[in-house]
Structure 1
């Protein structure tokens, strides 16, 4: 079930997982378009890939990038950004700015966040990735949200994918497995409307992706949280600007039809 997906905007395309996701999209016959800040640098990393210049922190630069996209894959992140508020501006703000730039368009979305997105008990964890998930759900687009485990903490024989829900999973996953799962989620109907943690275990690669995604619970309609997420971040306790962003994407959802 491809939902006529051809053109895929790749957000975070020059990152280690983003580059793999671009290649995965090409393997599956899709046409990736990479959102990049530095075109010259991206030409070296992604030869032969269509590039569109834009900056996740500059909303006006994103309208051209999102135009005509059938799907969007988010693999961006603030890693390496030393600003104390980088996660708010990039991990969260980047999703908000892309959603607002869509201007009523309804591409299918695969969003990569973190296995610890809902874990307030983990040292150094922040709620910004969880907030980005909430924006996507509130916006009403067809989506899959993938929370991968520790990058590269998986051996060569750990090719079996384990998909869990509820925020209690822990483990590792290879970057190529994350990239493949993101792209497969766009092309598999049973992945629609689902949020899950992703780790690897001993065993073989999946042969039936529809079944792999199909056993998961769907997120509840109208909820901004994943189906089994802990109820420990009430909307009414969120900062005013976060609540305003949620209302903004809900408004855009209501005026897009």
Structure 2
């Protein structure tokens, strides 16, 4: 049995779609109404990282797990790993972040991800770490702006990030969950090239066949925008991460997607073309 957490999220949903239908799969979600129609071989377990009994039920009979946590600074990983050990889970594939490999990154999000990785490595359970760069799908946040003709804005908009298609992350995750030989490995996942927000905007304009204006955010406006959406420690971490990107720390391209799956990573242009309808309608 494979358990997929975060199964209604950006990557988890793609993992569920790609797992072979001949093996039992269970998804863990707090919101079963968001799971949509699931295939007959997929079980839905309702639970929460903070509810030990729900974790025990979800982990019963499970041998491999795709683990996604999002509570920056919290102890969801610790609680889940404790329940997984008790359930005799054999392998945990953990969604982490590429920033953990950067010695210059010392923001709250990266410190938390490093701590979560350390907990997993010390847990006694076999592990595989997936460390993606920014998701290409993050640009779906621009969809309402583009649909209404308003400008897209970004901090350090010409800085480069080797962002990755969530579908590529999912393809690698499925390989690690269904094949042998990935235990004890840490995979940094990127797209085939580093691109800037300004370049992404130009790509969308070309695909849409109409102008998509872009404007540069200054740090003060960016901070205010982050604080409207996130707690202060997360907002500050995002600002520090943007500075790291400005300084070139997120531009390196890896060939890991090709090495694991046997095909090249998808480009931003490919991802954008496949999701163009959302930008035209304004519905991310």
- Is the 8 Å Cα contact of residues 18 and 76 (structure 1) preserved in structure 2? no
1:133 aligns with 2:127: no
Q: 2:13 maps to what in 1?
A: 19
Aligned with 2:187 (options 171, 189, 196): 196
CA RMSD of aligned residues (A): 3.0
Q: Take 1:116 and 1:45, find their aligned partners in 2: how far apart are those partners?
A: 35
| Secondary structure of 2:125's aligned partner | coil
Q: Take 2:261 and 2:166, find their aligned partners in 1: how far apart are those partners?
A: 21
1:101 aligns with 2:101: no
Q: 1:116 maps to what in 2?
A: 99
- Is the 8 Å Cα contact of residues 189 and 210 (structure 1) preserved in structure 2? no
Cα deviation per residue 1:125-176 (whole Å; 9 max; x = unaligned)?
Answer: 441111111111101211110101111179xxxxxxxxxxxxxxx6111011
Go from structure 1 to structure 2 and tell me whether the alpha carbon gap of 1:148 and 1:136 turns closer, same or farther (over 3 Å shift). Answer: same
Aligned with 1:64 (options 46, 57, 60): 57
Q: Tell me by how many angstroms 1:41 deviates.
A: 3.1
1:175 aligns with 2:166: yes
Q: Tell me by how many angstroms 1:53 deviates.
A: 1.1
Aligned with 1:88 (options 52, 57, 73): 73
Aligned residue pairs, count: 178
Which entry has the higher C-alpha Rg, 1 or 2? Answer: 2
| Secondary structure of 1:189's aligned partner | coil
Cα deviation per residue 1:196-251 (whole Å; 9 max; x = unaligned)?
Answer: 3111217x996764999xxxxxxxxxxxxxxxxxxxxxxxxxxxxxxxxxxxxxxx
Q: Tell me by how many angstroms 1:75 deviates.
A: 3.0
Which structure has more helix as a fraction of its residues? 2
Q: Take 1:171 and 1:75, find their aligned partners in 2: how far apart are those partners?
A: 21
Q: Take 1:38 and 1:210, find their aligned partners in 2: how far apart are those partners?
A: 31
| Secondary structure of 1:150's aligned partner | coil
Q: Take 1:142 and 1:64, find their aligned partners in 2: how far apart are those partners?
A: 21
Go from structure 1 to structure 2 and tell me whether the alpha carbon gap of 1:205 and 1:106 turns closer, same or farther (over 3 Å shift). Answer: closer
Go from structure 1 to structure 2 and tell me whether the alpha carbon gap of 1:99 and 1:20 turns closer, same or farther (over 3 Å shift). Answer: same
Go from structure 1 to structure 2 and tell me whether the alpha carbon gap of 1:99 and 1:173 turns closer, same or farther (over 3 Å shift). Answer: same
Go from structure 1 to structure 2 and tell me whether the alpha carbon gap of 1:123 and 1:177 turns closer, same or farther (over 3 Å shift). Answer: same
| Secondary structure of 2:61's aligned partner | coil
With the length of structure 1 as denominator, give the TM-score of the two structures.
Answer: 0.60
- Is the 8 Å Cα contact of residues 25 and 183 (structure 1) preserved in structure 2? yes
Q: 2:277 maps to what in 1?
A: none
| Secondary structure of 1:18's aligned partner | helix
With the length of structure 2 as denominator, give the TM-score of the two structures.
Answer: 0.55
Q: Tell me by how many angstroms 1:87 deviates.
A: 0.8
| Secondary structure of 1:98's aligned partner | helix
Go from structure 1 to structure 2 and tell me whether the alpha carbon gap of 1:124 and 1:132 turns closer, same or farther (over 3 Å shift). Answer: closer
Q: Take 2:135 and 2:261, find their aligned partners in 1: how far apart are those partners?
A: 24
Query: Structure 1 regions of 5+ residues with no counterpart?
Result: 1-6, 78-85, 155-169, 213-257
